[in-house]
Chain A
Amino acid sequence: MPDPRSATVGEDLTTAMEGAATRVAPAAKTRRPPGWIKRALLRYVAPELAFGLISLLRLSWRMRETGRANFESVLASGRTPVFGFLHGRTFLLLNTIAGQRDRRQFAMCSTSADGDAMARLEQRLGFDVIRGSSGRGGPQAIVDMVRAVRENPGSGAGLAVDGSRGPRGYVQGGIIALAQRTRGIVIPVTASASAGWIFRKSWDRTLIPKPFARIEVVFGELLHVPAQLTAPEFERLRAELEDRLVALQAHADELSGLADSVPVRAPRI
């Protein structure tokens, strides 16, 4: 049985690092690098480092999948697999849902500077990236994704569904619109780790698994989205996906033994 306390190490570490930074900052004469250097580092260097890190970490992780048959059944049906997952667990899922040689996988990434780095990382991992988020360029990104999936039969799509900036656990409607227009079937998916760091300062409580952690990837029950939906039906499906993802994440955490001190809940707003 993994030690659930290991999950909180990241929180302690983050706090400790923040404390250290606060103590050192007044004495240090720091010269900030010009903005373009920062942007270049974020855009070109960070994704390569992250890619190397993921590749290395992955070698040490023990991956276990539950419910993969759900995904396989969508592929067998010829329908479009549309993965829906929560932001905080994206890092753990990238390898599992990335495109394969014979199947393109479209992913949405925000247009922010952080999104630049994430987009490059996702491209390196085998995704076709479409830029946009619920906050900026979202509707156009959904339109572009629908067109891309339609023009590439056999492809799939994936979205971190709780917006680009939260609220954590609140599912935006874009994924339902995407599935509706692509004959897609939504596959709720999440992951957890037996040991990891949780970045408690980030709104999504990003989880980074530690080396040699056991990763539990859980594919949930499929969500069928009819092509025609009334507004109440649309909202019912959106809320249904939200409930399923929250329950799925709790289940994945239970399987891995991870104890997040602030478990995700379905916010009704």
Chain B
Amino acid sequence: MSRPEILKRLAAVIALSSSAPIDAATVTEATPLESFSVDSLVLIDLIFDIEQEFGVRLVVEELTAMRVMGDLVTHLEVRLAA
């Protein structure tokens, strides 16, 4: 799966999980993850939504260590290629 495709699908997932209104079309690799207002409950949703969308199991610590969307895209790209 290409990076733009991962980003697009990821943005759609986050737009559904986040409590803040997010326009998926405006999300880029430089978008900070903290801009999505991810609290601990949204984090749980996000982990399961990503697992369902990409079949990749994330750990909370991995996700909270990431700063921008590009970090998450890279992580998923590596995991999907493995």
Q: Which residues of A contact B (CB under 8 A)?
A: 137-140, 142-143, 146, 173-174, 177, 181, 231, 234
Contacts and interface: CB of A to CB of B under 8 A. Distances in A.
A177 B49 CA distance: 13
Nearest to A238: B41
B61 A143 contact: no
Contacts of B80: none
B66 interface: no
The listed residue with most A CB atoms (<10 A of its CB), out of B41, B45, B60, is B41
B82 interface: no
Contact of A142 (B19, B44, B59): B44
Contacts of B44: 139, 142-143, 146, 177, 181
A52 to B, nearest CB: 36
Interface residues of B, number: 11
Interface in B54-77: 59-61
A45 B44 CA distance: 35
Contacts of B40: 138-139
Given A173-B41, A177-B44, A140 B19 contact: no
Interface string B13-45: 000000100000000000000000000110111
Contacts of A142: 44
Nearest to A142: B44
Q: Is the interface of A mostly helix, strand, loop or mixed?
A: helix
Given A177-B41, A231-B19, A234-B41, A139 B48 contact: no
Given A177-B41, A231-B19, A234-B41, A140 B61 contact: yes
The listed residue with most A CB atoms (<10 A of its CB), out of B40, B44, B45, is B44
Given A177-B41, A181-B48, 14 more contacts: A139-B40, A139-B43, A139-B47, A140-B60, A142-B44, A143-B44, A143-B59, A143-B60, A146-B48, A174-B41, A177-B44, A177-B45, A231-B19, A234-B41
A137 B44 CA distance: 12
A146 B44 CA distance: 10
Contacts of A177: 41, 44-45
22 contacts: A137-B60, A138-B40, A139-B40, A139-B43, A139-B44, A139-B60, A140-B59, A140-B60, A140-B61, A142-B44, A143-B44, A143-B47, A143-B48, A143-B60, A146-B44, A146-B48, A173-B41, A177-B41, A177-B45, A181-B44, A231-B19, A234-B41
A10 to B, nearest CB: 35
Contacts of A174: 41
A174 B60 CA distance: 14
B21 to A, nearest CB: 12
B66 to A, nearest CB: 15
Nearest to B45: A177
Contacts of A137: 60
Query: What 5 A-B pairs are tightest by C-beta distance, nearest first?
Result: A140-B60, A139-B40, A139-B60, A139-B43, A177-B44
Nearest to A141: B60
